Amino acid sequence: GANVTPGNYYLRAYTNWMNNFPEDESFISLPIHVVNPYKEDLKQPQETDIAQSYDIQFLPEGGYAILNSNNTIGVKLTNQYGKGVKTRGAIFDSNNVEVTAFETNEFGLGKFSLTYDDGKTYHATYTINNQTEKTYLPKPKSNGFNISIDNYTNDKYTYINLKTNSNTLEINQNKTYYLVINQNSKISVVNLNINSLKTENTIPVESTNLVPGVNTIALFDDNLNPILERLIFNYNNLSLASVNTNIKKDNDSIQINLKINTKTNNNQLSQLSVSTLSNTNITNVSKADIISAFLIQPYIKGQIQNSSHYFNDINRLKKYDLDLVLLTQGWSKYEWKNIKKGAIPVTFDFEVGLTIEGTFNRAANKNKVNRTHMFSMTNDLNEYASVDKNSNTFTFENYFIKDEAVINFSLYEDEKVVPKVNPIIKTINGKRNLIHSFPTQKIPITRTSKESDLRTAFKAYNIEKLDTVNLSYTKQKSLDKPLEHQKSYIANKYSNGIKIDSTIERTYFNISDLINANGFIVEDLAGTGYTRIKNRNPTTFLGSNEPILIIDNVNLGTNYDMLFNMTFEDIDEIYINTSGLGYGAQAAAGVIRVYRKTGKHSLEKMKLRDYGDVVIKDGFSIEKKFYVPAYYFKSDEVLSKFACLDWTSDITTNDLGMYSYKMKDLGLEAIVLVIQGFTTTGELISEIRTIKMENSN
């Protein structure tokens, strides 16, 4: 909308159970950068407009550098947006003698080896934008251990190199240290007798003996204090599935065919999400992926830049690049002091859905069995619960109910319904706060000329802000999908019958828009949570101008709550009669008649007059169907460079791992499919496929 403030937004997701842990287990999305064409006069700053600033860190592998020992030092160079920067540099000692060189990759990461000599300091020089910078390296500890790990040059082995100096070995004689390798509850411990160690020690580990994914390697002293730690990623035996894709043109559509391939070829039933972009799209589709979200992100404190890079077309170089990521991430998010405490005390409940507590405006009859019936057509609710005779309360637990849904409650004494009761309801877990504050570490933000390009692309076809838009709908006879209920009621022939199909769903954003376009006005009553419908043409001075609502042959009068808790997916046909012709004098303000799709519960036999209506607050948001705004198609630049052309978010394949669907053919030479998901046996799916279009059917 025109009032959206431009800037970076984040999506954060969490559960109440996460509040039990000292670590922040919430999900935080990468920045969602919002551009508002209406506010271009505010001039959003671009990278070229802002003085560049950089942050370089030199990070000893394992945590510390040790004097008179060969150390591996990681390098991390980022700009003011947290984005990695590529550079080259050299390391000099205090005599200004160059001792080694380094360079960072496209993500701003690199490493080098350095032996700290006693009595010397070291600094790095490097060049950014033709300007030479100088930074001093961290000082070493006189005693201790450091670590260097190689798990990318040999597919079969992971080499753990423990290094120290002679002074450390001498003062720790006869002590036993412990090398620990773990992931979650899986742990291996190697006892290290200091008397048997040298200043450099190589411990080869068969990679197949490591747990797939992130492994934490730590060294503990004889008092079980951690003195170094290193995260590595084991690619061996990862549970990953692949996708075969092909495309076929079908008239004005494209049929996309997917086939999931697993390592065992067994039980390939899968859940997928597929986004479609133009191959000329300049947004970064490799920023995030399900593999890193599941296998890496839970163990680290920060964010990984372009995480899917490490899991598409895996090779030795990408394994090396991911190892640089983990080397420069530092220690794990999970601190050993918390791990050693054991099980956490449970203070916050594990919640599934909403818990509804309520009472009625009359005391329970202690001589009878008291029950309440919870009913909702749009939420498919038809449940009973006992009413406590002493407290006059009832509880429904673990229900997924839409926000602002209208729920009906009745009271039964024995088997007889008590008429016209007034329920008092509250949801006790509809809104929970997370005790962890939003993290302060910098999340990579991409800020380039793309923003001004997008603003220019929108401006190119003259977007005009309008105060009010009145739409009109012309009924068109559908030859493919005729109206099935036109003869179900005599007055339907005097009504504007509308079949809810894909054309209607693309034309109107929601049911309110459809009704607004067909002779009525939909008003949200501010501060009340209710919606009203009025006839555009006044009836009489004394008569109501609110139409009657009928759903599945049940007359709901002017209570429209059930209608506005529906989506187009719930409705088969709507008959709109603005004159009320065929319904009699009581329908002078018109009638809206709704037929739901086959298989939905009917209201026909429900005695709603005996139920008390309650609007549920803090319920679950209704999932909206993805669509591409029509005005995107007016600009080839917006469509090809910025727009997501299609998003199918809830794909379930068949048992053979196959699924086909269609999208509009936009005449592109090639498209990019971003596929994320998992199989029912836990294999993860993450692929980015560029597919050239066929020239003929």
Better pLDDT: 642 or 191: 191
pLDDT at 483 over 90: no
Q: Which token pair is 351?
A: 């919640």
Question: Cβ–Cβ contacts within 10 Å for residue 287, how many?
Answer: 18
| 562-591 tens-digit pLDDT | 787 778 888 999 999 998 888 887 888 899
Could you tell me the sign of the dihedral formed by the alpha carbons of 558, 559, 560, 562, in that order?
negative
- Give the residue from 616, 598, 642 showing the smallest Cα distance to 37: 642
Element (H, E) at 686: strand 684-692
Better pLDDT: 485 or 93: 93
Which pLDDT does position 454 carry in this prediction? Answer: 52
Which pLDDT does position 683 carry in this prediction? Answer: 92
pLDDT category of residue 615 using cuts at 50, 70 and 90: confident
Question: Cβ–Cβ contacts within 10 Å for residue 12, how many?
Answer: 13
Which pLDDT does position 455 carry in this prediction? Answer: 53
CA distances to 10, 184, 659, 684 from 678, in Å: 25, 21, 14, 4
- The mean pLDDT of 623-645, rounded to a whole number, is 72
pLDDT at 115 over 60: yes
pLDDT > 90 fraction of the chain, expressed in percent and rounded = 39
Which pLDDT does position 543 carry in this prediction? Answer: 62
Average per-residue pLDDT for the chain: 83
Better pLDDT: 203 or 367: 203
Which pLDDT does position 439 carry in this prediction? Answer: 77
d(CA 232, CA 215): 5
pLDDT > 70 fraction of the chain, expressed in percent and rounded = 85
CB 283 within 8 A of CB 450: yes
DSSP state of 240: B
The DSSP bridge partners found for residue 131 are: 128
Q: Which token pair is 144?
A: 């201790």
**What is the amino acid identity at position 648?**
T
Backbone angles phi, psi at 411, to 5 degrees: -115, 130
| 500-529 tens-digit pLDDT | 988 888 778 788 889 988 889 888 665 455
| 443-479 tens-digit pLDDT | 555 554 445 555 555 454 444 444 434 444 444 444 4
CB 87 within 8 A of CB 126: yes
Better pLDDT: 88 or 641: 88
CB 69 within 8 A of CB 167: no
Q: Which token pair is 662?
A: 């269609």
Q: Where are the alpha helices (DSSP H) in 328-480?
A: 336-339, 450-460
- The mean pLDDT of 164-183, rounded to a whole number, is 95
Backbone angles phi, psi at 564, to 5 degrees: -85, 0
Which pLDDT does position 37 carry in this prediction? Answer: 63
Q: Which token pair is 585?
A: 């004098």
- Give the residue from 675, 612, 34 showing the smallest Cα distance to 311: 675
- Give the residue from 384, 390, 398, 395 showing the smallest Cα distance to 425: 395
